[in-house]
Chains A and B, each alone.
Chain A
Amino acid sequence: DTGVSQDPRHKITKRGQNVTFRCDPISEHNRLYWYRQTLGQGPEFLTYFQNEAQLEKSRLLSDRFSAERPKGSFSTLEIQRTEQGDSAMYLCASSPGRDQPQHFGDGTRLSIL
């Protein structure tokens, strides 16, 4: 399967700890997106990359969040000093262009104890 891959699928951590998630997009897609989804709600945009450049960040992305996409391939999303409110599903998507459909991974579910 050559779809979008996310790792880990589940992460349980204590409040205050740092966590990092990884996303491997579809290989020929130059755009990569991160979304957050809480229970019963639709995904909310966090940030996106075109190749290695991070072009936009949502107001939802506080200073504790940082995303990278070195070499324009895989991406990582790090949350520092996690809080209860960070508990959510973190989704990654990729697309070949800005007006093209985004293809989503199955997400990383983060639970903060």
Chain B
Amino acid sequence: DAKTTQPNSMESNEEEPVHLPCNHSTISGTDYIHWYRQLPSQGPEYVIHGLTSNVNNRMASLAIAEDRKSSTLILHRATLRDAAVYYCVLGFNKFYFGSGTKLNVKP
């Protein structure tokens, strides 16, 4: 099973950019890289996903290393509502979640 490694926790100031790293050295060629975030007592919420190229959407940007063994989720201006557990997830069909990074945003 593919595995991901993320920092247990990170802290950011409100309105500053946040870079959340993820290592996935055992990624297979067909695995997409997905990012989800989760608030307490809620299901994971989709943030962004990609295969090889960097991706942007209204929520965030995803930077994927050339060898695909790592990726970074970029929140351009953190808000208090971005405080959550962020999961870097690998999979083509079934998903493999790690333990995630708990992001704390300070006002």
Q: Are A43 and B97 in contact (CB under 8 A)?
A: yes
In the complex, how many residue pairs between chain A and chain B have their CB atoms under 8 Å apart? 51
Separation of A23 and B92 alpha carbons in the complex (Å): 22
In B33-56, the 8 Å CB interface with A consists of: 34, 36, 41-46, 49
Nearest-neighbour CB distance to chain A for B4, whole angstroms, equals 9
Does B58 make an interface contact (CB < 8 A)?
Answer: no
Q: Are A104 and B43 in contact (CB under 8 A)?
A: yes
Q: Which residues of B contact A44 (CB under 8 A)?
A: 97
Q: Which residues of A contact B32 (CB under 8 A)?
A: 99
Q: Are B92 and A102 in contact (CB under 8 A)?
A: no
Q: Are B42 and A106 in contact (CB under 8 A)?
A: yes
Nearest-neighbour CB distance to chain B for A106, whole angstroms, equals 5
Q: Which residues of B contact A103 (CB under 8 A)?
A: 46
Q: Are A106 and B94 in contact (CB under 8 A)?
A: no
Q: Which residues of B contact A35 (CB under 8 A)?
A: 95, 97
Q: Are B43 and A48 in contact (CB under 8 A)?
A: no
Q: Which residues of A contact B34 (CB under 8 A)?
A: 101
Q: Which residues of B contact A99 (CB under 8 A)?
A: 32, 92-93
Q: Knowing A91-B43, A91-B44 touch, does A101 contact B49 (C-beta < 8 A)?
A: yes
Closest to A44 in B: B97
User: Interface residues, chain A, CB within 8 Å of chain B?
Assistant: 4, 31, 33, 35, 40-45, 48, 56, 58, 91, 93, 98-99, 101-107, 109
